[in-house]
Structure 1
Amino acid sequence: MKNSKLGIALTVLALSIGVVACAKADDDRSDKKPVEFAVQDRTSTAKMEADKVAAPAETAAAPGIMAYAGKDPFDPVQGVSFFQNRAVRAAIVASGAPRDVQQFVVFDGNVVVPIRSTMGRLMASGYDPAGAGVTNWALLMTPAGKAAVCYSSGENPNAITADWYYEGDIAFTLEDRCPSRPEDIESFSNWPIGPIPG
């Protein structure tokens, strides 16, 4: 009889321990889920912040283009460089310059001079240091966001020409290199606002 009561008591005790253990396991599982989600959320937030830093041109408010006068094309103004500015990039594409010319203009290995303001427009220019300036470019941009892109490859040193791209096509070709000083461009009247020179 005593053994029977002892057996029943041990069985009840074992069942109680099993119920407590199961309840504890359930508690442990439910505790871990929110912690995992919280860590995941923090990771996602950190990644989004890193993405913002990696793409300042996409997140910062870009200044008007005239704010770049006197600056190097790669120097930021309000966190955005001239070549990162969406209006400038869009104007270069709209000029009709071929893709390789566009890439050459914005290449950060070029030798560049500070952006100049001339006759109400901005002028940026640069050249490939590997060719001692024979291959060069210039960009003339209006405050309204239109751009003319000049490219001179210097392939024939005896007949150097510069192609000017504007509004989707070659506007004209001059027998000269692309301009690099404001006085070089002043003979262009007020083009691309006014008539094409030449």
Structure 2
Amino acid sequence: MHIGSGAAPITLSLRAGIAMLAMAVSGCSAGDDSQQTAAVTNFTPPATRTPTPVAGQAQTTPLTAYVGKYPHDAVDGVDFFDRTEVAGGLLAVVDDARLRLLIRGRSGPQTPIFQRGRRIASWGCEAHNCGDHNWMVAIDPAGGTAQACYHDAGTMRDQSRWYADGAPVLRPGACPSEGNDA
């Protein structure tokens, strides 16, 4: 291995070159522990706050305007999951931050937003595994109350976990992906 340019390159053994490269990539030198600090073990992340509209940008478009559109299609500049009543409703009923991110995310297929009884709902699933892993959130436009459903056949078999007021409950079947009364 040759390092440098010009008339007198420096020749190193392959082993020494690899060691120098490893130190350069890791950003430290051999035997230098002066930059290491103890990891913080008592970190508590801040609490998730209920969303509020940006000042001067009240959401006046009715939630029903989203029916037939995909969840991340903006209506008057705001997508379904960024609506205050949707984000707040989901936060109110689902304590699990990972599950909220899964429901809001773009990680898999989604159906157009649909009406389910009096609620406006969005359904999504895991790519290539929709029958066994899916979710749904439904918002009552009159009061902003939410319901969420999560189905994972690997852990729940033929049931889904429903979130609403109080503790989640198991119900038969996967999460609904179309409108029917509930």
TM (norm. structure 1) is 0.58
**Counterpart for residue 148 of structure 2:** 149
Q: How far off is 1:151 after superposition?
A: 0.4
Q: How far off is 1:147 after superposition?
A: 0.5
One of 81, 84, 91 as aligned partner of 1:83: 81
- Determine if contact 2:119/2:138 at 8 Å carries over to the other structure: yes
Larger radius of gyration, structure 1 or 2? 1
Provide structure 2 residue ranges, at least 5 long, that are not aligned to the other structure. Answer: 1-52
Does residue 112 of structure 2 align to residue 114 of structure 1? yes
Tell me, in whole angstroms, the C-alpha distance in 2 between the residues paired with 1:88 and 1:168: 18
Q: How far off is 1:107 after superposition?
A: 0.7
What does 1:125-140 align with in structure 2 at a 5 Å threshold?
Answer: 125-140=123-138
How many residues align structurally? 127
Q: How far off is 1:175 after superposition?
A: 2.4
* SS state at 1:89 partner: helix
Q: Identity, % of aligned pairs?
A: 25
**Root mean square deviation of aligned Cα:** 2.0
- Determine if contact 1:161/1:177 at 8 Å carries over to the other structure: yes
- Determine if contact 2:116/2:179 at 8 Å carries over to the other structure: yes
The alpha-carbon distance between structure 1 residues 181 and 155, as it changes in their structure 2 partners (threshold 3 A), is same
- Determine if contact 1:92/1:147 at 8 Å carries over to the other structure: yes
- Determine if contact 1:96/1:168 at 8 Å carries over to the other structure: no
Q: How far off is 1:145 after superposition?
A: 0.5
**Counterpart for residue 7 of structure 2:** none
Q: Which aligned segments of 4 or more residues in structure 1 are displaced greater than 6 angstroms?
A: none
The alpha-carbon distance between structure 1 residues 105 and 127, as it changes in their structure 2 partners (threshold 3 A), is same
Tell me, in whole angstroms, the C-alpha distance in 1 between the residues paired with 2:130 and 2:117: 29
Q: How far off is 1:139 after superposition?
A: 1.1
Does residue 169 of structure 2 align to residue 176 of structure 1? no
Tell me, in whole angstroms, the C-alpha distance in 1 between the residues paired with 2:177 and 2:130: 14
Give the AA of the match of 2:159: T
Q: How far off is 1:130 after superposition?
A: 4.5
The alpha-carbon distance between structure 1 residues 130 and 151, as it changes in their structure 2 partners (threshold 3 A), is same
- Determine if contact 1:112/1:127 at 8 Å carries over to the other structure: yes
What does 1:179-194 align with in structure 2 at a 5 Å threshold?
Answer: 179-183=176-180, 186=181, 188=182
Q: How far off is 1:74 after superposition?
A: 0.3
Give the AA of the match of 1:149: A
- Determine if contact 2:152/2:160 at 8 Å carries over to the other structure: yes
- Determine if contact 1:151/1:164 at 8 Å carries over to the other structure: yes
